[in-house]
């Protein structure tokens, strides 16, 4: 059978990219809060493009999973969303309805 060779001390993780990943998450969260109607995928694409143009080359192996970044963007803008109504009490402002919208 095949034998595996294990190193006693694995090589250290690439620490310099940790800062870039953190900056990417902050950039995505800020963009998600600023533009609430833009899709999370578009926000992530723009952030990755900006990060790659600023840093020349970003290895894809050290980037976070795109679905995780989507969830982070949606979670960041969740606090700004309106809450679901708890009652059915409301007033209708008829100034904004067309003339023949409803009949008495």
Q: What is the pLDDT of residues 41-89, one digit of tens each?
A: 999 888 878 777 665 555 555 567 888 889 999 999 988 877 888 888 8
45 vs 9, more confident: 45
Q: Is residue 95 part of a domain?
A: no
Q: Is residue 54 part of a domain?
A: yes
In terms of Cα–Cα distance, which of 80, 81, 75, 72 is closest to 24? Answer: 72
φ, ψ for residue 33, nearest 5 deg? -70, -35
Instruction: Print the domain residue range for 55.
Output: 16-78
Q: Is residue 63 part of a domain?
A: yes
pLDDT-derived band at 14 (thresholds 50, 70, 90) equals: very low
pLDDT at 90 over 60: yes
Domains in the chain, number: 1
Q: Is residue 6 part of a domain?
A: no
Q: Is residue 31 part of a domain?
A: yes
* Contact yes or no for 63/21 (Cβ under 8 A): yes
Q: Is residue 73 part of a domain?
A: yes
* Rounded distance between C-alpha atoms, residue 40 and residue 28, angstroms: 9
Q: Is residue 24 part of a domain?
A: yes
């Amino acid at each position: 059978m095949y034998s595996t060779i294990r190193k006693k001390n694995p090589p250290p993780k690439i620490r310099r990219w940790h800062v870039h990943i953190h900056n990417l998450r902050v950039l995505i969260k800020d963009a998600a809060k600023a533009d609430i109607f833009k899709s999370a995928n578009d926000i992530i694409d723009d952030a990755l493009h900006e990060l790659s143009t600023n840093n020349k080359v970003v290895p894809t192996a050290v980037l976070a999973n795109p679905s995780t970044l989507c969830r982070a963007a949606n979670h960041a803008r969740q606090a700004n969303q309106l809450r679901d109504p708890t009652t059915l009490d409301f007033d209708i402002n008829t100034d904004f309805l067309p003339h023949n919208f409803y009949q008495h």
